[in-house]
Structure 1
Amino acid sequence: MNGTLAAFGATGLYYVGFAVFKVAADRMEPLRGNRIPHMAWTILRSPVFLGGLVLVLGGLALQIIALGELTLGVAVPIFVSGLVPLLLIALAAFGERLCVREWLSMLLIAAAMLLIALSIGGSGPLTAGPVPPWRLVAVAVPPLVLSVALMAFGDRRPDGRHARPVAGIAYGMSAGFPIGTAELAIKGWGDMAGSASTSLEILRTPYPYVTVVAAALGFGIIMAGFQRCRVIIVATVMTVSAKSYLLVMGTVLYGEPWPDDVGQAALRVLALALAVSAVLLFPRYDDRLTPQPRPVRQAQRS
């Protein structure tokens, strides 16, 4: 299959699957990051979630093909393009709305992806050589540990009566780095799939195991975020965090060349700066969801 078609197919399946995840999350009992076993059991018991997971796993299979044939500079803008149909789904199906700052953030993300596309040189896809396991572990472990810590210690009182509802930035970033880590492993998996003679050779590498652990963690955080926040905010911040991590660390881990031309390199740096600015521009709190105070009852006369 053509790598570009596989990338678009993976993107479509991923974000339709995330929309199904949102439906599943709204039907579940409250998820708590400091009760991870209960959280996992609740998620895995949902048939709606399992249906969305089938779509996402189909996207995973196509992403393995895409990252085995495309450079990261080509693949990342295609993967981010899935935010467009997800935005339409969020507006039409879930009734979500964006404020002016959030629309501006979306425009900055679109500009960043355009600059990444313009920064692509003429070099063909690079097949990554074997990566030492310690190097993959060094890249994978810190974001996973950070995400687990944020879930375990930062989700103890998410539903306080007087708390301002969060917009989902923390959930998106906490899910984005594990998913970006999973995609880093998928990149190595895709390259090995093109050169390995049997699937058993891939099973002897850390790529499948890093993919499963990191993706499972990211999906769990996404489900908790979808329960409390708008899907478009969580998914957008997750996508920007994941793809930025994939682009930067993938270049370091697999030795994909940075643009040689000074102008193209400047465009790549500017694109990453715009992506970070877009995340920082998102409002931290969603005041439109703030519950109105209940009227105080007058004390009854004795």
Structure 2
Amino acid sequence: MAWTILTNWIFLCGVVLVLGGLALQIIALSTLSLGVAVPIFVSGLVPLSLIAITVFGERLSGREWLSLLLVAAAMLLLALSIGTPPKVGSAEMPGWQLALVVTPALAVPLLLMVLGDHRPDGRHARPVAGVAYGLSAGFPVGAAEVAVKGWSEASAPGLTILQTPYPYVTVLSAVVGFAILQVGFQRCRVIIVATVMTISAKIYLLLVGTTLYGEPWPKDGGLAAMRVTALALGLVAVLLFPRYERDPEPEAPAPGEPPPWPPPWPPPGASRRAR
């Protein structure tokens, strides 16, 4: 499996893009506060949604479109709540504080994947829609971005940054998050997994990063209300995504072909009670 992946040029191009994005993120977080950076990072959902719809042929229900509109409204409110951005300075944070917030973000998704990753089988089974995979990947990715924030603000020059925990936490959290993300992409729709992952990761980054690195919350009451509303809309958007995929419509046999055997059960037209 490792040889197949590492010799796939599409995967290697993806790795280059991810590493380039990580480098740009480190640069961005060294000059921008989290309130400014998070809405910019979430804007990546726009091209991703277009790719999912046009390239992968994914389709969204009305409820799922509503979730995306709520995400857009949340990011607009978050951008409007910036006010006067605080100055970005070097962050000196004890390693135990970083471990305290990162460990649950890694342990809980891994535990859920190991103990709860049972693919549905049986007559009444329904395929999982990808919300669980998005949340399980989002928190490790958010933890990696929290470490990136410390990496970008650390006062250690050059390679002395390797003496801090930030690079190692970044790599470990990113590997866990992207591994779960790949599983979700193989089993579920890309747009659902990626949207839930992005929203959960950025909410985690904003809340935890603001607390750890001492960035002030908006002091103006109106701006603070906008930020709280934006976080609430993001949470509602995630909850609105359906937990299960819609049942696929059975394909009709081509003219001249025999009907499928055994016949589908329950037969078409059966009442829900009969099911």
Name the TM tier (shorter chain): 0.7 to 0.9
Q: CA deviation at 1:154?
A: 1.5
Cα displacement (A) at 1:153: 1.2
Equivalent residue, structure 2, for 1:125: 87
Query: Aligned in 2, Cα 1:196/1:177: closer, same or farther, shift over 3 Å?
Result: same
2: CA distance, partners of 1:278 / 1:76: 17
TM-score by structure 1 length? 0.80
Distance 1:215 1:289, change over 3 A: farther
Question: In terms of mean alpha carbon deviation, does 180-189 or 123-132 score higher?
Answer: 123-132
Q: Deviations for 1:89-132, whole angstroms, at most 9, x for unmatched residues?
A: 00100000110000000000000001111111213432242110
The match for 2:47 is 85
Structure 2 counterparts to residues 242-261 of structure 1, below 5 A: 242-261=201-220
1:279 to 221, 226, 238: 238
Q: Which stretches in structure 2 are left out of the alignment for 5+ residues? A: 252-259, 264-275
Residue in 2 aligned with 1:231? 190
Q: Output the amino acid matched with 2:156.
A: A
The code of the aligned residue for 2:210 comes to T
Contact 1:128–1:255 under 8 Å retained in 2: no
- Would the alpha carbon gap of residues 189 and 101 (structure 1) be closer, same or farther in structure 2, given more than 3 Å must change? same
CA distance in 2 between partners of 1:47 and 1:152 (Å): 30
Of 181, 190, 197, the match for 1:222? 181
Query: Hey, what does 1:211 align to over in structure 2?
Result: 170
- Say whether the 8 Å CA contact 1:176–1:241 is kept in structure 2: yes
Task: Give the number of the structure whose alpha-carbon radius of gyration is greater.
Answer: 2
Whole-Å separation in 1 of the counterparts to 2:122 and 2:16: 36
Amino acid at match of 2:170: T
CA distance in 2, matches of 1:103, 1:60: 29
Give the equivalent residue in structure 2 for 1:266. Answer: 225
Residue 51 of structure 1, CA deviation: 2.3
Residues 1:103 and 1:49: Cα distance change in structure 2 (over 3 Å): same
Q: Call closer, same or farther: CA 1:125–1:41 in 2, change over 3 Å.
A: farther
1:98 and 2:60 are equivalent in the alignment = yes
Residues 1:44 and 1:172: Cα distance change in structure 2 (over 3 Å) = farther
User: CA offset at residue 289 of structure 1?
Assistant: 4.3
Match of 2:116 in 1: 154
**Greater Cα offset, 170-179 or 259-268:** 259-268
- Superposed CA RMSD in Å reads 2.0
Q: CA offset at residue 198 of structure 1?
A: 2.2
**Kept after mapping to 2: 8 A contact 1:179/1:218:** yes
Amino acid paired to 2:233: L
Distance 1:161 1:230 in 2: 22
CA contact (8 A) 1:128 1:254 kept: no
Paired residue total = 255
Distance of 1:227 and 1:289 partners within structure 2: 17
CA-CA distance at 1:161 after TM superposition: 5.3
Which residue is equivalent to 1:197? 157
Residue type of the alignment partner of 2:119: P
| Higher helix fraction (1 or 2) | 1
Q: Secondary structure at the match of 1:135?
A: helix
Return the alpha-carbon distance in structure 2 between the equivalents of residues 246 and 128 of structure 1: 17
Equivalent residue for 1:175, pick from 114, 137, 148: 137
Distance 1:151 1:45, change over 3 A: farther
Runs (4 or more) in structure 1 with deviation over 4 Å come to 40-47, 288-292
Contact kept, 8 Å, 2:86 with 2:216, in 1: the verdict is no
